[in-house]
Amino acid sequence: MGIFEVVSIGIVTAILVLLLKDKQPVIAYLIIVVTVLYIFVFLITYIKEILHLVTYLGEEANIQSFYIKTILQIIGIAYVAEIGSNIVKDAGLESVAIKIELVGKIFILILAVPIFKSLIETIIGLFPIN
């Protein structure tokens, strides 16, 4: 399945949701959720390839695996939070969607702290204070 199939699924989903949202809003919402999950499952294969490539490049550049793993986790959190937030927005729950985005940002901050600490320690090590 390629981009044309994904776009086609998106268009069919949009048409179904538009037809059903007034008479059967619950079914329309479930169609949205199932479509998003289906597309996400489709993407897992490509995501695995990207993860292997990034890991390989990091090893070739002698970057510690901790940093690569942390950066990949941060990217994953960003995508999951955005997808979750958008699904909740589709249900009309804007305030809950905002909280999901906030939690995602906080988790990203938590993961980024060790990288910031290491960066600051490296900078301090380069410029010794007398």
User: What percent of the chain is predicted at pLDDT more than 90?
Assistant: 48
Instruction: Give per-residue pLDDT as tens, 52-72.
Output: 898 899 888 888 888 889 999
**Residue ranges covered by each domain of the chain:** 64-130
What confidence score (pLDDT) does residue 14 get? 93
Asked which of 12-16, 86-90, 100-104 is least confident by mean pLDDT, the reply is: 86-90
Tokens in use for 129? 């204070």
pTM of structure: 0.74
If 0-12 CB within 10 Å is exposed, 13-18 middle and 19+ buried, where does residue 100 land?
Answer: buried
Residue 126: predicted pLDDT: 85
Are the C-beta atoms of residues 51 and 32 closer than 8 Å to each other?
Answer: no
CA distance 55 to 10: 32
**pLDDT score of 40 more than 70:** yes
